[in-house]
Structure formats: structure tokens, C-alpha cells
């Protein structure tokens, strides 16, 4: 039996508190702007409220898609509050950066419970520590390529379809 490999954590472990702090900071900052705009005129205040509510909705949609992720040489582990998922590295089509803030997008060949794609954020301080985090993502990419090249040995009595 092979020795158990240590998981390499890709995403920030402070993702949950990060979401709540970002929501609170956004509401406080833009709430004060809306209050000041209501003092100018009601129409301007309503317009500002609608625009900021739309942006808040977009931020919530983006951060809801962020997952906590770790990997080893064979699998990608997605840690969720309701259940954890294990995705074989052969099922991952690509890992690409989707924003300058360090949000990566994982595209899958076959849809899992998360869908065809999901996102993770490598670090809350991403622009400051991008070299180490990008190297960790590059290790994941190399592991994916090795897993795609390696042929899985199926048991003799396995059903093949």
C-alpha cells in the first residue's frame, strides 16, 4: 500500500470570514455614500441605491462560487460545508486565472455536483504573494498532466462501458 500523501492547500482557509468581512465593508462604505446622496436629492439617492444593490448582488454571486480546495497527486479535494467532494485529476480540463485578485477557474471535462466549473481564491493577499501561490497552482497543473498521461489500471472483473 502506498504511503498517504500530504494535501497541498490551494485556497485560503479564511474564505468564510473573508466573505462576511467583504459584505460588511461594502455595505458600510456604500451605505454611507447612499445616505449622502439622499441628502442631495431623492432621485439621486434611489439611483445610487439601485446601482450599489446591483453590484452587491454581483459580489455575492461571485463569492458564493468560491470553494476551498486542496490536492495531492491523484485527486482534487473540494471542502464544502454540506459535503466534501473528491475529483480525479483526469477529470480536470484546465485551471486558469479569471481575475487579477487571484481567483482561479477550474474547468471539468464531466460535470460534477458543482457543475462544469468552479472557482477558488488562492490567498487573501494575492497580489503580494503571487509567486508562491502561482507556483502552487503550477504544481497542480503538472499533477493534472501526469494524471492524464498515466493509464488507470482497472480490475479484471470491472465493467467497462
Per-residue pLDDT at 157: 65
Whether pLDDT at 46 is above 60: yes
Per-residue pLDDT at 64: 81
For range 104-110, the mean pLDDT? 90
Q: How many domains does the chain have?
A: 2
Per-residue pLDDT at 145: 92
Q: How far is CA 140 from each of CA 31, 36, 39, 44, 135, rounded to the nearest angstrom?
A: 41, 48, 52, 49, 9
Cross-strand bridge partners of residue 93: none
> Residue 105 is part of which domain span?
68-149
Residue 3 belongs to a domain: no
Per-residue pLDDT at 144: 92
pLDDT band at 30 (very low <50, low <70, confident <90, very high): confident
Q: At what angle do helices 42-64 and 15-40 cross, to 10 degrees?
A: 170
Last residue of a domain, one of 25, 42, 64: 64
* Assigned C-alpha cell, 25: 465593508
Residue 159 belongs to a domain: no
- CA angle 28/29/33 to nearest 5° reads 110
Residue 154 belongs to a domain: no
The CATH number given to whatever domain includes residue 144 is 2.30.29.30
Looking at the structure, tell me whether residues 44 and 101 fall in a common domain: no
Give per-residue pLDDT as tens, 109-128.
Answer: 888 888 899 888 887 777 77
For range 18-22, the mean pLDDT? 81
pTM: 0.72
Residue 10 belongs to a domain: no
Question: In the chain, what percentage of residues exceed pLDDT 70?
Answer: 91
Looking at the structure, tell me whether residues 89 and 126 fall in a common domain: yes
Looking at the structure, tell me whether residues 98 and 46 fall in a common domain: no
Last residue of a domain, one of 24, 40, 64: 64
Per-residue pLDDT at 1: 44
Give per-residue pLDDT as tens, 52-88.
Answer: 889 888 888 877 888 889 999 889 999 888 888 999 9
Cell 468564510, residue located: 16
pLDDT band at 151 (very low <50, low <70, confident <90, very high): low
Amino acid at each position: 500500500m502506498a504511503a498517504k500523501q500530504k494535501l497541498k492547500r490551494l485556497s485560503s482557509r479564511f474564505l468564510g470570514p473573508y466573505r462576511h468581512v467583504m459584505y460588511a465593508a461594502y455595505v458600510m462604505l456604500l451605505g454611507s455614500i447612499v445616505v449622502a446622496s439622499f441628502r442631495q436629492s431623492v432621485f439621486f439617492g434611489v439611483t445610487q441605491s439601485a446601482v450599489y444593490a446591483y453590484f452587491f448582488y454581483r459580489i455575492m454571486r461571485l463569492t458564493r462560487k468560491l470553494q476551498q480546495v486542496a490536492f495531492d497527486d491523484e485527486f482534487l479535494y473540494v471542502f464544502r460545508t454540506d459535503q466534501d467532494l473528491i475529483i480525479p485529476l483526469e477529470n480536470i480540463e484546465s485551471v486558469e486565472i479569471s481575475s487579477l485578485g487571484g481567483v482561479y477557474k477550474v474547468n471539468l471535462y464531466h460535470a460534477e455536483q458543482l457543475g462544469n466549473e468552479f472557482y477558488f481564491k488562492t490567498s487573501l493577499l494575492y497580489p503580494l504573494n503571487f509567486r508562491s501561490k502561482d507556483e502552487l497552482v503550477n504544481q497542480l497543473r503538472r499533477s493534472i498532466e501526469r494524471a492524464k498521461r498515466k493509464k488507470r489500471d482497472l480490475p479484471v472483473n470491472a465493467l467497462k462501458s
